[in-house]
Structure 1
């Protein structure tokens, strides 16, 4: 009869960590839904030993996708078995293939999809929740890297399914950001009407009681247990009749529970049968135990059920150990004498994941601490004992003791002195250590997750292990990991700095290879440290990373300008300091070898040309190294800033109750970022000082002295507006079309080039201001307007070099100079004195006022006197003001 009921279904979808499981549990309790998880059903079937289970197991091991028909078949069977008609299906459909399979296989008149319950949650919130859950979940995929991959899969595959139902107005969207209670309140408000409209959502208390007595009379254990469960739900939810009616229902429920105890003997007998024989079906045994628990016989059933599970898991654990031994015998040895150790990690993960799955299933059936301890302890003992043996075998094959001894010897020396010179680790050695650290971090994570899981599933579980338990092993492995990771970081960074060479980032843009190499090492080391799920381990590794940056990496970047190397130069005519073109490049000015063979004497002019070319080549290589240093320092600052953000995010999400990791470092990471930004700024100034800055100052001063004039007639003013002025032509030639500047643009990363242009612009405006003041260029009102027009046009033209960056700050002082020159009367300066004095001195303002030939000198003198008095008064008030 139950299979013929029309099933009303809500798909429950949302990103990983959105809280779907928590909300489903609350919905089951309040509204009487049946909660089904496609993933759980597949795992249960896989472990059942059935034909489908063996197929699922084989396909998962081979990396194949389990056909959607199998998932649908399991869902359909579960719904029919329940005898109910209101379902939450969690985590399905995950993609359009799942959706299409549902529509093809599940008859609409029997399985009616009411819509999608969609828990919407930002990625950052979900990641924070999963990182916290990872401490106790026993799941190995609750780590930062795996979380982000799962979120990408969710966006790419599941979101289109949600959008499909959204077009049909069948999405119940809930903001999952707040706490669980607030989210559940919003969920209840959304789906309440759906439940109210469903006449078959749950049976009434009276109907469930009728079903109970019918089933009891027929000695149908499953139906009796189901009816008792329905009665308990109805008793909790029903508010009709007030407190008196509730008391009556509770009394009737207790009567039924007492009556059901008469079936305990039958339930225990079924459990005995389910646990008998050599090939026990774990699912069948678990269902039989669940019946006993529902009838109040969990403690009576526990010894037999515990013995059954102990036998099963002891057998499975020994089989895992035998497979590991077999894999070890057949594993190939590489050229460095190591075997592929992946089978250790896989066996350990599979063993402990299987244990956590069955423990969770038992904990879902009963919450009796005594029963849980009795049933779960043998499972843990069997799994833990073999797991520790696997770890010990792994340590031997990985030569952990030898690595530890070597790293300890290194740690006893001062790392700043020990890693000098050409004493670098071989590539093969670092690769083997890197692989070992990956495996070790994963093993630590599996053990830590499993240990934390034990405390959540049953208090005191696993504490009887003593000194040989997981806690001791985790501490031992963590100690080894810390020593080796520090060794790996320092050796890898040292090697990266020792073998650094120019690396082409894009055409014509070079950085030192040390940037990419060190960035990779530090990010990988931090990722591994985060996998260990230990605050102190992570903090220790982050301190090692900062130490390596400060003691090795920063000095290496600072030394790049003087480090011998050859950087391929962009094929272009070089520009000398005077701006003239050198017609012969280094490749074309070498003496012809054949001609040299024919002539015994080399002319003085050829020798001179060769010397000039060699000098030019040397100068260009020095400049190229400076530019490579700028690029390398800029990229270093970027990757260190990204590492800073990553550490901060992990610390906040993973250890919210501990001191922030970034606040516990001897040298703050942000200071390292500032150090690299300072290198960029200093080297930019060095590049400018080599030629461009000197020439710009000389050219502008000469132009100001010889050509520029600012006492203009209206005709001259109009002519400059249409034809352009000599100053703008100079800026166009010396800055906008400057060959050196365009060569730097091709050779620098975009951000450092913007900094360079800003520095050039600052030099330009300073040179113009200085030339004006040194020459005391006379001007009239039209000349002042012309200068304002020129400065405005200079800002517009220089801004074309870097459209994404504002250069206005570089023009602040020059615009103030122009403002003073454009005053209508000298006395007007007093109205704006406070603002102009922020940039200009009284002497400078005086000079500018005297440059205006159309100002009366007595007016200028009077304005200067008043300005001086105001300035003295302001200075005195600042001196006397309390600090």
Structure 2
């Protein structure tokens, strides 16, 4: 808002691996820049769930370039929210399209590019750094081929941008070949060279000059400026000398504390410090003689045009001269307040003009972005001015005197804009509606139907837009309030000011409407849920995506509030909506009246396929035959059964995805708590119901419904087949010739596996219709059943084994494990075969007494009676030897239990 306090930007460019990020971090720490990375901002927005975030995510997935307008809007918003003046923008502009977009969208009077900090580094050095980084970074683009592509892109696209600014004498080149420390030393000269052009605050310039001028050089500069009546340069030199004296004293104390020096060294250091202190006092006395001149200079600047930088510089001189400060406060305060009020009122006038010309949509609302932009402009303008004043003086009393009128004007104008916005947004009407809804019990209405009604799309869209705006307004107000409290606590009036009360009021309205939006949106999503195709043949309920979007957006908005209790209330509402509305809707999906597309079964019952070709018995009058009626009834029953199964599968997919988005939501909330409220109680631990319980509930639904699917379909046909094949088709007392033949021929068990499991049409349909993870869970459960049935069939049929038969069983089990693992390559199925492999181990013992050698592993899965049962299946094992072996086994297990 204040033209002289515009944002000052330094682009940071260089090849991949030049060390831009490292140097930016050091510049931020040393000089107080704000570091912005275009890539980081895009990633954060992509994860936020906002409209722009969805667009960015979609374009990245489709391999498209994100429009430069989006990147610029994110940079602009980040600069405004920061409330700061000096910025390092890393990795932007990458090409001429970025540069042209900047020049079109970012007016120079508000966002002035001071230059380009160019880190020049040979390609071989950068490649070596990136390859070394790739060993630990996990980045997929840190490999030789990708690196060289990035180099080509940099040379072809970014270097022309650097050349453009070089022609304007705005490139500050730094050799990035040495190590980080040496490069930073070279970089430190750049802020000094920029000090004049960036119109830095006097203290900022002082800190830079202090790094390059000695105490004696500053004394010389002071006397030269004093002689020429150059007050500002004189004060800068004086400030430098004060800092040197302070640093000398601090370093002396640290040296004494760390390693006491000799008396001679200590005396010499103390004398040097005393001499400098005496020289400083002499200079201060001389400077104070120009106090009247400094006040006159300030008065002249205040009477001239509204040049805030000139006024600040003159006030800085008065403060540095100390005795002139009190005389300077009144004119300076009046001038700053007048300049700011003029500019703030101009913003209000523009708001009125924008309102008068804003088009009205079909719902009677106008585009309200200009309100938020105006509020941001006023608060940012006040913040910039206050920061500038605080850079000049840290005296609390002076700050309160100077900033109070400025804060009062800013608060009044901000509240005026907020009030205008609230009227146009119909905030009171929305508030009344939300309160009425909150008081109404579910299903409680005069006609019995209103409680179940859903909000219209237009209504929810308007309240969503309003909440987006209100969240940003709250962030602006909260940030400004926190800033003023940190700068001068007296400005806040202990939280009793009109500004603070209005912020609290808006926070309450936001919380009320956010809860209203969450519950109504979840209710609407569950009521109007439709079948949605996630991918070819995989169907879910549309409410999963709708509810996930709404809840993630609500959590993101809560994170912008910067208020712990607000965030906790919103997150609690999210959990409440999940538990009270959404969970029941997922559980009841199989009973919903919608049609799910169903793949045709590859096999139908004989009753459906073996119809009488003669047409069956007719009713004699050319009507429908009995056979036709029977076939029709069978087809209807099959269709109904297939539809029930399809709904069950849809419910499994929906519950699985619900558990996934709840887990993601849980991670987001944890991230919010860690980053925004690190000193408060963890949000996840303060919820009425832990999110992990909800996540586990959804996973429990998946497990239960998978059991139901298996019970309805495959289990009832496969279990008796397994028992029949084992009892009637498998033999395990083999001759060597039979054993060799089994190695080259397909056994009955393998044929059963191929026909009834691997090529089972029902299982193939489940594979096509289920999400990958639930299908793998289904496979694990099915294979677990299969191994249990095989074991039970061996026991029930009392199959006799000889040594070759035992080897054949082990061979068949290994082959079966290998084949079924193809169904779920990402799942480990070996654990489901543990008992069967232990059975094979027992049957392959050379003699019964060898069972003692495997006591620990066998006893973990098999009881002593089970071990006995399987040992007695070996026809060549003597009963007495088996009994003796079991006694020894029992003794070994007892001894192990008694061992401490």
TM range (shorter): 0.7 to 0.9
Change (3 A) 1:552 1:42: closer
Identify which of 620, 641, 645 aligns with 2:667: 645
Change (3 A) 1:671 1:697: same
Q: Distance in 2 between matches of 1:622 and 1:173?
A: 71
Q: Secondary structure at the match of 1:429?
A: helix
The CA deviation at 1:236 is: 4.2
Please tell me whether residue 472 in structure 1 is matched to residue 501 in structure 2: yes
Contact 2:116 2:165 in 1 (8 A): no
Q: Distance in 2 between matches of 1:725 and 1:347?
A: 81
Partner residue in 2 for 1:542? 571
Q: Distance in 1 between matches of 2:871 and 2:418?
A: 85
Contact 1:275 1:305 in 2 (8 A): yes
Partner residue in 1 for 2:310? 284
Change (3 A) 1:308 1:15: farther
Please tell me whether residue 428 in structure 1 is matched to residue 438 in structure 2: no
Partner residue in 2 for 1:519? 548
Identify which of 422, 427, 441 aligns with 1:414: 441
Change (3 A) 1:380 1:70: closer
The Cα offsets for residues 143-180 of structure 1, whole Å up to 9 and x where unpaired, read as xxxxxxxxxxxxxxxxxxxxxx4xx3464499xxxxxx
Identify which of 477, 482, 488 aligns with 1:452: 482
The CA deviation at 1:733 is: 2.1
Question: Residues 6-25 of structure 1: matches in 2 within 5 Å?
Answer: 13-14=20-21, 18=25, 20-24=27-31
The CA deviation at 1:868 is: 5.0
Q: Distance in 2 between matches of 1:862 and 1:42?
A: 86
The Cα offsets for residues 596-627 of structure 1, whole Å up to 9 and x where unpaired, read as 9x995122222222222221111111111111
TM-score, normalisation: structure 1: 0.78
Please tell me whether residue 63 in structure 1 is matched to residue 70 in structure 2: no
Partner residue in 2 for 1:575? 603
Contact 2:117 2:174 in 1 (8 A): no
Please tell me whether residue 733 in structure 1 is matched to residue 755 in structure 2: yes
Please tell me whether residue 708 in structure 1 is matched to residue 730 in structure 2: yes
Q: Distance in 1 between matches of 2:663 and 2:566?
A: 22
The Cα offsets for residues 523-554 of structure 1, whole Å up to 9 and x where unpaired, read as 11111122111111111111111111111101
Change (3 A) 1:627 1:95: same
Q: Secondary structure at the match of 1:504?
A: strand
Identify which of 524, 529, 532 aligns with 1:495: 524
Structure 1, unaligned runs of 5 or more = 1-8, 27-37, 47-57, 77-93, 116-164, 175-186
The CA deviation at 1:250 is: 1.3
Contact 2:739 2:804 in 1 (8 A): yes
The CA deviation at 1:286 is: 1.5
Q: Distance in 2 between matches of 1:644 and 1:42?
A: 31
Q: Distance in 2 between matches of 1:286 and 1:75?
A: 28
Contact 1:787 1:818 in 2 (8 A): yes
Aligned residues: 748
Please tell me whether residue 256 in structure 1 is matched to residue 283 in structure 2: yes
The CA deviation at 1:22 is: 3.2
Q: Distance in 1 between matches of 2:513 and 2:848?
A: 75
Partner residue in 2 for 1:224? 234
The Cα offsets for residues 29-79 of structure 1, whole Å up to 9 and x where unpaired, read as xxxxxxxxx989999799xxxxxxxxxxx9989634759996247999xxx
Change (3 A) 1:601 1:15: farther
Q: Distance in 2 between matches of 1:408 and 1:263?
A: 65
Q: Distance in 2 between matches of 1:809 and 1:683?
A: 23
Contact 2:219 2:237 in 1 (8 A): yes
Contact 2:601 2:761 in 1 (8 A): no
Identify which of 222, 231, 241 aligns with 1:212: 222
Question: Residues 330-479 of structure 1: matches in 2 within 5 Å?
Answer: 330-415=357-442, 422-463=452-493, 467-479=496-508
Q: Distance in 2 between matches of 1:426 and 1:673?
A: 30
Contact 1:511 1:628 in 2 (8 A): yes
The CA deviation at 1:469 is: 1.9
Contact 1:271 1:285 in 2 (8 A): yes
Q: Secondary structure at the match of 1:337?
A: coil
The Cα offsets for residues 475-509 of structure 1, whole Å up to 9 and x where unpaired, read as 11121122211111111111111101110011111
Change (3 A) 1:229 1:388: same
TM-score, normalisation: structure 2: 0.77
Question: Residues 659-678 of structure 1: matches in 2 within 5 Å?
Answer: 659-678=681-700
Contact 1:345 1:439 in 2 (8 A): yes
The CA deviation at 1:295 is: 2.5
The CA deviation at 1:819 is: 1.4
Q: Secondary structure at the match of 1:778?
A: coil
Q: Distance in 2 between matches of 1:17 and 1:651?
A: 27
Contact 1:317 1:386 in 2 (8 A): yes
Q: Secondary structure at the match of 1:462?
A: helix
Identify which of 219, 239, 243 aligns with 2:270: 243
Question: Residues 738-749 of structure 1: matches in 2 within 5 Å?
Answer: 738-749=760-771
The CA deviation at 1:767 is: 1.1
Partner residue in 2 for 1:122? none
Partner residue in 2 for 1:862? 884
Partner residue in 2 for 1:789? 811
Structure 2, unaligned runs of 5 or more = 1-11, 34-77, 88-99, 119-156, 193-207, 252-264
Q: Secondary structure at the match of 1:851?
A: coil
Q: Distance in 2 between matches of 1:747 and 1:424?
A: 31
Change (3 A) 1:388 1:688: same
The CA deviation at 1:443 is: 1.3
Question: Residues 757-772 of structure 1: matches in 2 within 5 Å?
Answer: 757-772=779-794
Comparing 488-497 and 860-869, the one that deviates more = 860-869
Change (3 A) 1:691 1:42: closer
Contact 1:504 1:511 in 2 (8 A): yes
Partner residue in 2 for 1:301? 328
Q: Distance in 2 between matches of 1:393 and 1:637?
A: 43
Contact 2:116 2:170 in 1 (8 A): no
Partner residue in 1 for 2:152? none
Question: Residues 298-337 of structure 1: matches in 2 within 5 Å?
Answer: 298-337=325-364
Q: CA RMSD in A?
A: 3.8
Partner residue in 1 for 2:822? 800
Q: Distance in 1 between matches of 2:410 and 2:13?
A: 38
Question: Residues 867-878 of structure 1: matches in 2 within 5 Å?
Answer: 867=889
Change (3 A) 1:552 1:95: farther
Change (3 A) 1:226 1:203: same
The Cα offsets for residues 681-735 of structure 1, whole Å up to 9 and x where unpaired, read as 0111111111211222111111111110111122222222222322122212222
Contact 2:13 2:117 in 1 (8 A): no
Partner residue in 2 for 1:106? 169
Q: Secondary structure at the match of 1:710?
A: coil
The CA deviation at 1:248 is: 0.6
Q: Secondary structure at the match of 2:534?
A: strand
Change (3 A) 1:211 1:10: farther
Contact 2:174 2:186 in 1 (8 A): no
Contact 2:443 2:451 in 1 (8 A): no
Contact 1:44 1:283 in 2 (8 A): no
Contact 1:261 1:295 in 2 (8 A): yes
Q: Distance in 2 between matches of 1:387 and 1:655?
A: 27
Q: Distance in 2 between matches of 1:559 and 1:467?
A: 51
The Cα offsets for residues 312-347 of structure 1, whole Å up to 9 and x where unpaired, read as 111112222222222222222222222222111111
Question: Residues 264-275 of structure 1: matches in 2 within 5 Å?
Answer: 264-275=291-302
Contact 1:735 1:741 in 2 (8 A): yes
